[in-house]
Amino acid sequence: MKSTEDVNRVMDAYADMVRRICFVHLKNRHDTEDVFQNVYMKYLLYEGSFASSEHEKAWFVRVTINACTDWLRALSRKKWVPLEVLSEERAVLNEPSNEVLETVLKLPEKYRDVIYLFYYEEYSAVEIAKILGKKENTVYTWLSRAKDILREKLGGEWS
Amino acid sequence: MSSAQNKIQKSMENIRATEEMKQNTLQYLETQRAKQGRGIFQWKPYTALRYVMAVICIFLLAGTGGYAVYSRPVSYISIDVNPSIELAINCFDRVVSAKGYNEDGQDILEHVSLKNISYQQAIDRLLQDAYYSRFLNQDSLLVVTVISGHSDAMLEQINANDSFQALGALTYSSDAACMDEAHQHEMSFGKYRAFLELAQYDTSITVEDCHSMTMGEIQDRIRTCQGHSGSKAVEKHSTQHANEHSGSHGHR
Chain B CB contacts of A33 below 8 Å: 21, 24-25
pLDDT for residue A85 is more than 50: no
Pair (A83, A17) in one structural domain: yes
What is the DSSP annotation of A4-67?
HHHHHHHHHHHHHHHHHHHHHH-SSHHHHHHHHHHHHHHHHH-----SSHHHHHHHHHHHHHHH
What sign has the CA pseudo-torsion A45, A72, A119, A91? negative
Is residue A127 domain-shared with residue A154, that is, in the same domain? yes
The answer to whether the CB atoms of B30 and A40 lie below 8 A apart is no
- Cα atoms in the 13 Å half-sphere on the side-chain side of B66: 6
Shared domain for A62 and A104, answered yes or no, is: no
Using DSSP, state whether B87 is helix, strand or coil: strand
Do A21 and A80 reside in the same domain of the chain? yes
Q: What is the DSSP letter of B146?
A: E
Q: How many domains does one find in chain A?
A: 2
Question: Based on the domain organization, do A30 and A85 belong to the same domain?
Answer: yes
The whole-angstrom separation of Cα B26 and Cα A76 is 28
Instruction: State the DSSP string of A87-149.
Output: TGGGGGGGSGGGHHHHHHHTS-HHHHHHHIIIIIS---HHHHHHHHT--HHHHHHHHHHHHHH
pLDDT digits 0-9 by tens, A94-128:
555 578 888 888 888 889 899 989 988 889 999 99
Which residue in B11, B14, B22 is closest to A15 by CB distance?
Answer: B22
Q: What's the mean pLDDT in A33-57?
A: 91
The domain of A60 spans 1-94
Is B5 an interface residue toward A (CB < 8 Å)? yes
Phi/psi of residue B14, nearest 5 degrees = -85, -10
Lowest mean pLDDT among A16-25, A117-126, B28-37: B28-37
CA of A36 vs chain B CAs: smallest distance (Å): 8
Residue A90 has pLDDT above 80, yes or no: no
* Residues B110-144: tens digit of each pLDDT: 888 899 999 999 998 988 888 888 888 888 899 99
Is residue A137 classed exposed, middle or buried when 0-12, 13-18 and 19+ CB atoms within 10 A define those classes?
Answer: exposed
User: Span A120-143, mean pLDDT?
Assistant: 91
B29 closest CB neighbour out of A7, A15, A119: A7
- Residue A88 shares a structural domain with residue A111: no
Is the confidence at residue A93, as pLDDT, over 60? no
- The pLDDT confidence band at residue B247, using thresholds 50, 70 and 90, is very low
Q: Which residues, in sequence order, are CB contacts of B114 under 8 Å at separation 6+?
A: B85, B87, B95, B98, B122, B125, B126
Q: For residue A37, what pLDDT is reported?
A: 92
> Cβ A95–B14 below 8 Å, yes or no?
yes
Interchain pair A158, B8: CB under 8 A? no
Confidence band for A91, pLDDT divided at 50, 70 and 90: low
Residue B9, pLDDT > 70, answer yes
Higher pLDDT, B23 or B63: B23
- Rounded distance, CA A106 to CA A100, Å? 10
Taking all residues of chain B, what is their mean pLDDT, rounded to a whole number? Answer: 82
Same domain, A68 and A108: no
Tell me the C-alpha distance between B248 and B143, whole Å. Answer: 15
- CB–CB of B194/B218 below 8 Å? yes
Do residues A87 and A132 share a domain?
no
Of A88-92, B8-12, B59-63, B90-94, which gets the smallest average pLDDT? A88-92
Among A43, A77, A94, residue at a domain's last position:
A94
- Specify whether A76 is located in the same domain as A8: yes
pLDDT per residue as tens digits for the range B138-175: 888 999 999 999 889 999 888 888 888 888 889 999 99
User: Which pLDDT belongs to residue B5?
Assistant: 77
Q: What burial class does residue A135 get, using C-beta atoms within 10 Å of its C-beta: 0-12 exposed, 13-18 middle, 19+ buried?
A: exposed
Domain boundary among A44, A62, A94: A94
More confident residue, B196 or A154: B196
Does A152 contact chain B (CB < 8 Å)? Answer: no
* Yes or no, beta carbons of A33 and B3 under 8 Å apart: no
Q: Which residues of A touch B22 (CB under 8 A)?
A: 11, 15
- Residues A81 and A107 occupy one common structural domain: no
User: Are both A8 and A71 inside the same structural domain?
Assistant: yes
Kindly report the nearest CA distance between residue A100 and chain B, in angstroms.
6
Distance between CA B22 and CA B139 in Å, rounded? Answer: 104
User: Rounded mean pLDDT of B168-187?
Assistant: 91
User: Domain end: A74, A94, A114, which one?
Assistant: A94
Considering only CB atoms, A7 lies closest to which of B12, B21, B26, namely: B26
Same domain for A118 and A51: no
Mean pLDDT of the B188-214 span: 90
